[in-house]
Amino acid sequence: MEDDLIAGLTRQIKEEVIENYLAERRLVELQIEELNSHADEARFRALKTGRRLSRLGFLVVHPEMRSHLTTLLKIPRPSFWTECLDQESSRGVRFIRVRALTDKAKFRKLFLEAYARFYKWMKKYEESYGLLKSECEAVNSNIKSFQKNFDLLTVLNFLRGLDSTTLERKHYLGANFSAEEMASVEGKLFLRQVSCEKFNVPEPVALPGLEVIEEALSQLALDVYRKYQARVKRMMR
């Protein structure tokens, strides 16, 4: 009788441990889901920022000039950003309207304004990227604490010792586990650290402010206008 009581209490304690384990695990899983959602948002913002860079690539007309711009802005090659620059398209962004006395001055103002908008978008994206990295570190810290607080071997031994009925297994592990999968349950229960690199979110570029690079950008705009004047005029119509 006493042995039965001890066995029952022991089982109850173990069940409470499992319930706590699953509850804590679900909280971490929700954090990972939210992190994935934020990674999606960051990728979308990167795409929107890249379109502003594509507009600059469109304005400089020629691959040679795009190469000069890549060097000027210190954009790593190859990268997501150089792919955007090489798209030769201004789709997805509004065309900027400026006024000036001459077409040459108008193109210079247009080019500088296009860079200013790209810079503004990149700074916003840089904030999003930084928040994503910080959140990734926080989630990994929570995963580490979770693994430290629960002895996975004890959890596994208890689960493998349960009655094999489908109902009881579902009570603890959900509907994703079959009898054949119990052998690989360790791999399913182990929470791995999240790798921010696997999110495929491009690292932002540390761009110089317009006041720092205005003279060099102005010279590039004048070079483009001088070499490709007819095409530039058609773009500005």
Checking 110-115 for CB contacts under 8 A at 24+ apart, the result is 110/59, 110/236, 111/56, 111/59, 111/60, 111/217, 111/218, 111/220, 111/221, 111/224, 112/210, 112/214, 112/217, 112/218, 112/221, 114/52, 114/55, 114/56, 114/59, 115/56, 115/210, 115/213, 115/217
* Greater pLDDT, 169 or 19: 19
> Residue 25: pLDDT band by 50, 70, 90 thresholds?
confident
Closest of 190, 193, 165 to residue 21, by C-alpha? 190
> Residue 22: pLDDT band by 50, 70, 90 thresholds?
confident
pLDDT number for residue 121: 97
Q: How much of the chain is in helix, strand and coil states, percent to nearest 5?
A: 75, 0, 25
Checking 74-79 for CB contacts under 8 A at 24+ apart, the result is 74/205, 74/206, 75/205, 76/205, 79/202
Check whether 2 has a pLDDT greater than 80.
no
pLDDT in tens, 139-160: 999 988 877 766 665 666 555 5
pLDDT in tens, 93-107: 677 777 878 889 999
- The fraction of the chain above a pLDDT of 90, given in percent, is 53
pTM of the model: 0.79
pLDDT in tens, 105-126: 999 999 999 999 999 999 999 9
Which of 21-35, 120-134, 199-213 is least confident? 21-35
Closest of 48, 29, 66 to residue 202, by C-alpha? 48
Measured CA to CA, the distance from residue 22 to residue 163 in angstroms comes to 18
* Greater pLDDT, 225 or 170: 225
Check whether 10 has a pLDDT greater than 60.
no
Q: Are 69 and 101 in contact (CB under 8 A)?
A: no
Q: What are phi and psi of 161, to 5 degrees?
A: -90, 0
Measured CA to CA, the distance from residue 89 to residue 93 in angstroms comes to 10
Measured CA to CA, the distance from residue 155 to residue 176 in angstroms comes to 18
Measured CA to CA, the distance from residue 45 to residue 225 in angstroms comes to 31
